[in-house]
Structure 1
Amino acid sequence: MLLSRARRSTFAVFALNGFLLGMWVVNIPEIRERTGASTVVLGYLLLLFGGTALVGMQVCGRLIDRFGSRVVTVVAGLALSVTLVGPAFARSVTDLAVALAILGIFNGAIDVAQNAQAVEVERGYARPIISAFHAFFSFGGLLAALVGGGLIAAGADVRWSFAGVGIVGIAVVLAARRSLLAPTEATTRAAGVARVRSPWNLRVAVLALLAFMLLLAEGVAYDWSTVHLHDSLGASKTVAAWAFGAFSVTMTLVRLVADRIVARIGSAAYVQRAAFLGAAGLLGAAAAPDPGIAIVGWSVFGIGLAGCVPQFFSAAGNIDPAAAGTYLARVTGIGYLGLLAGPAIIGILTHWVTLTTAFAVPVIGCLLAGLLAPSALRRVDT
């Protein structure tokens, strides 16, 4: 019963994180207009958001090892809900920069904290369940698209929309607080005990590299799938949007069933086959002669990537339960760098090669991940 309640509460936290982040994303055009930020400036602001998120991840990792994931998840969730209103009330680029820097810190913190809590719940179940948590993050993003789009269509003031969403976030975190798993002696270090060094080792480095490569590929889908259909295949903007839509839907649906497959064949075999499938999907999209086939390729790409990265987080969190936060922060942080770098790398390469040729980078990343995953994940399955 305790594990079941903890699982539901962790689902709620993941969904809330996706919802809060999604509300910011769907309102970017409105907030940019209110603050007068140019497209170039917005790009720098988003990099600032990503950079402070990385800082939040690393700080949060150590706090988890000291206080447990429940406390850090609750504090980060409450802080994220409150600081979400910052961008909405920003009146200038400077205001927005400060607001996004603070928001990024707590978004990075909750990213690591909720994954650490998910690993603890999964450990209690003694079977794979982590992909389902990431599915709820995706559901939260889809809900934000619906709610945020509806509020925009109704002409709601973004400031009061964000204030209302923030209140909802606080209520969700407080409701989930008591059901989250409390820290144990195995997962935290007692007060007064010297901090045990959590060194980088080959396994942590490989897990971080795998996360980097596959999140790089995921970032390419986010920012370049619609551009590919519109610019390379001449699709209308409406049809081009279906590429990302298909990718997102398959990512979400597969995450709901990935745990069952992992339980049957093991995480190493799953990631290997899924990464190869993702490479085949992106190759198919790049080589597609028309938008319809390209959309199928992007959907297959989503199927391949969906359940892979959660396996790396699970493996990192189980290397040493007492240092789960530190190791998760490292793997999550390096992976997040891939998510940020992927779209930029493709954009830079298009100065010299075509967009479809530039897709060779994420394809090679998927192939390498498929080759390296068995050695990094084999210990999880034995």
Structure 2
Amino acid sequence: MTHPLPRAARVATWTYFTLNGFAVGMWVVHIPNVERATGITHSALGGLLLVLGAAAFLGMQVAGPLADRFGQRRLLPAAGVLLGLALVGPGLADSWWTLGIALFCLGFGNGTIDVAMNSHAVVVERAYPRPIMAAFHAMWSIGGALAALVGAGTLAAAVPTAVTLGSVGAVCVVVSLAAARFVIDATPEPERPGSTEAAPSARPSRKLVWLLGAIAFAMMLAEGVANDWAALHSEDVLGTSTSTAAFAYGSFAVAMTAGRFATDRVAARVGPVAIVRYGSALAALGLTLVVFTPWLPLALAGWALFGLGLSGSVPQLFSAAGNLDPRASGALMARVVGLGYVGLLAGPALIGGLAHWIPLNAAFAVPVVLCVVAAVFADVLAPRSAPAEEPVG
């Protein structure tokens, strides 16, 4: 029977993932209001969103070593508090430069909690006899869906952006501190007889870390394409109305969330390699269907297959990165999470650039190929017991 402490830590991890998804979602739904309040152009906003992305990547790289040095019990609640405080800033911004500062803080806080909560999820998962990582990522999606509903309500009621984001920020601070008592640290490595040093485990090679990061980049680039281009594809290519086009992203998002809730039990039976290999292949098949069909119902089915295929891959990659070397779990995860995040940001921009030169359908060949490549290299997730060369320092 599972010990009560890991169960409590599991609930706490669900809480932080949901809280992060909710906070990010509330910022996203208020972007138009913030743009109007600061009087900036679309192009200026695009540049400032790059500042947010760069700050998030920086926060990830800082958080990884901090998790290894100070433990998740200190870092994760602090990251939640930092995110809550930073969320207040965009609602108070009144110019491009104040918004830039606010988005840098928000991005740094989001990057920090991203690595901290994933690192804690790996620690909690080690205490269980089966995979549980994917369900945590599903809770992030639930948090985003909740933000869409709450945000729609506050916007309809004309609640000031500063009040809404400030209130959500306060919730983040309170909940992060309340859940802190259930956060656990990694169990120290056993010591060798007659030695004061921890017993060495198989050290991952730099090549292995970069391969995991490259697959995360590919998978999250594909996810970013769906996030930003699914609805536009249905509207521009299939000729649907704006309201109908929203079902394209909805099909993807619902399938991805449902798939993540189901992935853990499937992974317990077939292993992470099969999840990534066959999931990536299914995603490639789904997006190929989107590319070639002129019929909306088949396109919606294609987006659903795309989301279902992608749903389990990223959690498996993050779990694998966090378990490469328990002594440097946070730092290794930060590299893989960071590369995945770069893919998430790069995907929509890459497709947008290609769409200036080739049809949107043809541009979708990029994520299709990346999914196929991920399927081919899925063996990188196979457990390794022997020490690898070129140890990561």
**TM-score (norm. length: structure 2):** 0.92
Check conservation: 1:315, 1:380, Cα contact below 8 A: no
Matched, 1:333 2:338: yes
CA distance in 1, matches of 2:132, 2:40: 42
SS of the aligned residue for 2:76 comes to: helix
Task: Quote the RMSD (CA, aligned, Å).
Answer: 1.8
1:204 to 201, 209, 212: 209
Of residues 44-53 and 164-173 in structure 1, the stretch that sits farther from structure 2 once superposed is 164-173
Aligned to 2:240: 235
Quick one: which of 344, 349, 359 aligns to 1:354?
Answer: 359
Q: Is the 8 A contact 2:204 2:324 kept in 1?
A: no
Pairwise CA distance, 1:183? 4.3
Unaligned runs of 5+ in 1: 188-192
1-side partners of 2:187 and 2:260: how far apart?
29
Counterpart CA distance in 2 for 1:186 and 1:241 is 49
The offset of 1:351, in angstroms, is: 1.8
Correspondence 1:123 to 2:123: no
Are 2:348 and 1:343 equivalent residues in the alignment?
yes
* Residue 16 in structure 1 maps to residue 58 in structure 2: no
Deviation string 1:86-139 (CA, Å, 9 cap, x unpaired) is 000000111100000011011001000000000000011131000000000000
User: Which whole-Å CA distance do the structure 2 matches of 1:28 and 1:348 have between them?
Assistant: 23
Which AA in structure 2 matches 1:141? G
Amino acid in structure 1 at the alignment position of 2:381? L
Report deviation, 1:79.
Answer: 0.7
Q: For 1:320-372, what per-residue CA distance to the aligned partner results, in whole angstroms no more than 9, with x for missing partners?
A: 11100000000000111100111111111112210000000000000000110
Distance 1:56 1:176, change over 3 A: same
- Counterpart of 2:48? 45
- For 1:274 and 1:199, locate their aligned partners in 2 and report how far apart those are by CA, in whole Å: 25
The 10-residue stretch of structure 1 (287-296 or 336-345) with the greater mean CA deviation from structure 2: 287-296
Q: Is the 8 A contact 1:267 1:380 kept in 2?
A: no
Partner of 1:287: 292
Q: How does 1:171-186 map to 2 (within 5 A)?
A: 171-186=174-189
Letter in 2 for 1:359: F
* Percent identity of equivalent pairs: 48
Is residue 2:167 matched to residue 1:164?
Answer: yes
CA contact (8 A) 1:70 1:183 kept: no
Question: Residue deviations 1:275-317, cap 9 Å, x none?
Answer: 0000000000111112222111111100000110010000000
SS at match of 1:37: coil
Query: Moved runs in structure 1, 4+ residues, more than 3 A?
Result: none
TM superposition shift of 1:381? 10
The corresponding residue for 2:311 is 306
Larger mean CA deviation between 88-97 and 343-352 belongs to 343-352
C-alpha separation between the residues in 1 aligned to 2:175 and 2:367? 37
**Does 2:75 align with 1:72?**
yes
For residues 283 and 137 of structure 2, the distance between their equivalents in structure 1, rounded to whole angstroms, comes to 18
Which amino acid counterpart does residue 244 of structure 1 have in structure 2? Answer: Y
Aligned equivalent of 2:259, options 254, 257, 266: 254
Number of residue pairs aligned between Structure 1 and Structure 2: 374
Letter in 1 for 2:372: L
Residue of structure 2 aligned with 1:139, choices 142, 161, 164: 142
Match of 1:178, SS state, is: helix
| Contact 2:123–2:185 (8 Å) recurs in 1 | no
Task: Report the Cα offset of residue 380 of structure 1.
Answer: 6.5
